[in-house]
Amino acid sequence: MTETPAPTTEIGDQAAYAAAVQTAVAASAAYYGGGDSPLDDDAFDRLVRGIAAYETANPGHVLPDSPTGKVAGGAVAGDVPHTVPMLSLDNVFSADDLRSWAAGVARRIGRDVEVWSVEPKLDGLAVSARYEDGRLARLVTRGDGAAGEDVSHGKGMIAGLPERLAEPVTVELRGEVLMTRGQFEAANDARTGAGGAAFANPRSAAAGSLRARDRAYQVEMTFFAYGALPMDGTGDDLAERLRGLPHSAVMELVAGLGVRTVAVTPVPGTTATTVDGVLERVREIAALRPDLDFGIDGIVIKADAAADQADAGLSSRAPRWAVAYKLPAVEKITRLVGVEWNVGRTGVIAPRAELEEVELDGSLVRYATLHNAADIERRGLLLGDHVTVYKAGDVIPRVEAPVAHLRTGDEKPIEVPEACPRCGDEIDRSQQRWRCVRGRDCHAVASVRYAVGRDQLDVEGLAGSRIDQLVEAGLIEDFADLFTLTHDQVVGLERMGETSTANLLAAIDAAKAKPLNKVFCALGVRLTGRSMSRRIARHFGTMDAIRAADAEAFQEVDGIGPERASTVVAEVAALAPLIDKLVAAGVNMTEPGATGRPAAAPSGEAAAETAEETGDLPLAGLSVVATGAMSGPLEGLSRDEVNQLIERAGGRASSSVSGRTSLLVAGEKAGSKRAKAEKLGVEIVPPEEFAARVAAFR
């Protein structure tokens, strides 16, 4: 889990301060009101921290509108008073923050907290649901914390919040209203179907839908309770239990009334007796985040015992007995700068968004899926739009929607292809997913064209149109089929005479003798180009050796790290039938002059090729080993994540120190690897320094 320091927007003078306050208040109003904020959460939080920093330095300038210290930044209000204020939560961003926060609670109450409850922080909007005699009577938003807005009209639209409880009790439940992924997609369908603009994200969709009245379409939302309070009319017995039971037991009671809690999700609330136990659960929930079908933006940690809560008390903005451990943002606003159209193996033509680079959940994102052409239309995207982009963990990043009010007028329509971008044939648009009319043949045409290209098998006289013809006639499905073409098959084709047939077959035959590196390159293995193919061929010597190599063996090749190695191994395995066909056709499978065993020190040429493929990345051509516990900006990164970082920065990640190692990143407890590196004279850097070198790739 990465822990990011909290960056701040610099505010230099009073005018900038006033403007910042105005921006923050307007953004909050949009955010809580269900409109689209022009800022993503990171940008908003940076701004508010900047405002707070300015106010600390210039207490005389503080404006009454300032969002600091207020629930919802003071941007929203309501007319239904809350009996007990509905507060915000303070944040922590790291394990250390959490430890000092927990120590602070213990100091305040004069004893250790014995039980903590740990729950996901649901990313929706806070709602109070008042039940009278077991019937849902009133729904109220959080508002400014003291009073909220009556949204009782939303009653029938919220799953998890029953009209009637299992028992006829009077009670106030508090919880989060959100949209699951499925509800969000359905809501967007309904809204765009009714001629409206797409919702920017599930959170604002929920906020907007709950407040809206008289909509032409129906949407569904979900409620998860995270608290319960007695109210006027609550029986003494229940009131006493709600006041006296630990939080975890109150949540069980609530679930027993038939109201949804996170107990039914993959991330149920749990308890822990130590801060270490809390942190372990924080990591577990964070790891599950990408798989959840609803958004979470952190983990809420609460003192579980009622007495601890009562003794810790509240500040004006947040309870002192609870805190939110914030997770990195998984949604950001960035610009859509281009749309690429890719054709898959089966001929499906799918658009891909090219974005202004943005950091999301610890990685840099430049591309995101756009699903299909209808989706672009439905979401109303334009080229140059600011868009919300979502990515968590290994999930493929996706564009949610444009932030339409940030348009400048310079946005352009997204051009959709007239013809298949790969083979130029027609597009079948009869379904949502467009396809090349050639279907799988489109891939065949493209891969054969690639295979016979100048840098691969270089078959003279085999033009693109000729390949189209061969595929259409059913004579070839892949380039291995070229080698078994007969004179009769070819001469029968249109515009093929005796001479050109003989020439073509001779050229194909000559290609059989190409060195292994050209043959391997012709396979079109992902993440390998011309020079990488050369290195692989030279390293292994034969196709048999390549096929026998595992990911570890591939990492011996200069420029191949764990990520690329496993892709190449998987691709080579998937290409087995094609390779078998080539072998059977008598195509050469050896590299002349190759030693056929793991090469010694990388040759100057190989290093140069690495640089050619990796550009001038900071670790280009370097073999890097990381060991010990990572600290500083890299704290919490797994070894795998560090290796990926090394590869992104152009290096080759390796697990053992040898004479070929260029750099050792030595964290605490580096041990024997450090000793070995010292002996071999390998450069050793601490994680902090390494983090600075590769900062752009984190």
Ligand X SMILES: NC(=O)c1ccc[n+]([C@@H]2O[C@H](COP(=O)([O-])OP(=O)(O)OC[C@H]3O[C@@H](n4cnc5c(N)ncnc54)[C@H](O)[C@@H]3O)[C@@H](O)[C@H]2O)c1
* Nearer CB in complex with ligand X: 118/368: 118
41 annotated as a binding-site residue: yes
435 binds Zn ion per the rule CB under 5 A? no
Angle in degrees, 0-180, between the axes of helices 236-244 and 247-256, rounded to the nearest 10: 140
Nearer to ligand X, 131 or 321 (CB): 321
40 makes contact, choosing from Zn ion, ligand X, none, with CB < 5 to 8 Å by partner type, with ligand X
**Residue 374: which of 429, 424, 439 has the closest Cα?**
429
Tell me the two tokens of residue 337: 């700068």
Separation of alpha carbons 331 and 185, rounded Å: 16
Alpha carbons 450 and 468: distance in angstroms, whole number: 13
Candidates 28, 261, 447, 531: give the one binding ligand X (CB under 6 A). 28
Q: Which of 9, 17, 34, 44 binds ligand X (CB under 6 A)?
A: 44
The answer to whether 676 is a known catalytic residue is no
Tell me: does residue 422 bind Zn ion (CB under 5 A): yes
Using the rule CB under 5 A, is 350 a contact of Zn ion?
Answer: no
- Distances in whole angstroms, Cα of residue 574 to Cα of each of 210, 539, 557, 567: 50, 21, 21, 11
The interface partner of residue 422, options being ligand X, Zn ion, none and the CB cut-off 5 to 8 Å by kind, is: Zn ion
Ligand-binding site membership of 442 (annotated): yes
- The CA distance from 479 to 449, in Å, is 8
471 binds Zn ion (CB under 5 A): no
| H-state helical runs in 196-273 | 202-211, 236-244, 247-256
- Pair 391, 414: CB distance under 8 Å: no
Closer to Zn ion by Cβ: residue 326 or 422: 422
Contact mark string toward ligand X, 137..156, x via CB under 6 A: -----x--------------
Contact between 444 and Zn ion per CB under 5 A: no
- Residue 467, classed as helix, strand or coil, is helix
- In whole angstroms, what is the distance from residue 697 CA to residue 359 CA? 10
Contact 270, 281 (CB under 8 A): yes
Q: Phi and psi of 407, rounded to 5°?
A: -70, 145
DSSP-assigned beta bridge partners for residue 468: none
From the list ligand X, Zn ion, none, pick the one residue 661 interacts with, judged by a Cβ distance below 5 to 8 Å according to partner type.
none
Residue from 546, 457, 439 nearest 508 by CA: 457
44 labelled binding-site residue:
yes
Q: Which stretch binds ligand X (CB under 6 A): 115-123, 191-199, 589-597, 606-614?
A: 115-123
Structure tokens that stand for 135 in this block: 């019937």
Q: In angstroms, rounded to a whole number, what is the distance separating the alpha carbons of residues 213 and 195?
A: 17
* CB nearer to Zn ion: pick between 189 and 425: 425
Give the start-end residues of each E strand in 391-480.
Answer: 398-402, 427-428, 434-436
| Region of residue 23 (left: phi > 0; alpha: psi -120 to 50; beta: else) | alpha
Does 203 interact with ligand X (rule: CB under 6 A)?
no
Binding mask 212-251 for ligand X (x = CB under 6 A): --------------x-------------------------
Choice between 90 and 425, CB closer to Zn ion: 425
The DSSP symbol for 264 reads: G
Q: Is 521 annotated as a binding residue?
A: no
- Smaller CB separation from Zn ion, 89 or 420: 420
Listed in sequence order, the residues at least 6 apart from 483 whose beta carbon sits closer than 8 Å to its beta carbon are: 508, 509, 511, 512, 582, 585, 586, 587
**Contact at 8 Å (CB) between 462 and 450?**
no
Residues 304-333: x where in contact with ligand X by CB under 6 A, - otherwise, as a string: --------------------x---------
For the bound state, the minimum distance from the C-beta of residue 477 to Zn ion, rounded and expressed in Å, comes to 15
For ligand X, the closer CB: 359 or 613: 359
302 is in an annotated binding site: yes
Q: Is 436 in the site for Zn ion (CB under 5 A)?
A: yes
Residue 129 in the binding site for ligand X (CB under 6 A): no
Binding residues: 41-45, 88-89, 119, 142, 176, 302, 326, 420, 423, 442
Binding site for ligand X (CB under 6 A): 27-28, 31, 37, 39-41, 44-45, 72-73, 88-89, 119, 121-122, 126, 142, 176, 226, 300, 324
Binding site for Zn ion (CB under 5 A): 420, 422-423, 425, 436, 438, 442
Q: Which residues are catalytic?
A: 121
Binding residues for NAD(+): 41-45, 88-89, 119, 142, 176, 302, 326
